[in-house]
């Protein structure tokens, strides 16, 4: 979100993620000078039949690694 002088506006949106988000991290993961957003989610918690399923989703952000 960003302040445009009148109110908050979205800078970008992501696809809808299924499951439960259990963690996230913003960092320059590939040392290219730009930050990425990594989201960890659990998509299935089937403990009796099969195994729990999870996934990591990575988004490139347009933020320099030196930006806060």
Q: What is the domain partition of the chain in residue ranges?
A: 2-64
pTM equals 0.67
Element of type H or E holding 38: strand 34-44
- pLDDT tens readout for residues 31-41: 998 899 999 99
Q: Is 59:14 a contact under the CB 8 Å cutoff?
A: yes
pLDDT of residue 17: 84
On whether the CB atoms of residues 17 and 40 are closer than 8 A, the answer is no
């Amino acid at each position: 979100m960003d302040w445009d002088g009148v109110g908050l506006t979205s800078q970008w949106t992501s696809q809808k993620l299924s499951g439960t988000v259990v963690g996230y991290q913003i960092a320059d993961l590939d040392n290219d000078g730009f930050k990425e957003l990594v989201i960890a989610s659990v998509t299935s918690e089937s403990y009796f039949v099969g195994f729990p399923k999870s996934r990591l989703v990575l988004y490139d952000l347009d933020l320099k690694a030196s930006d806060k």
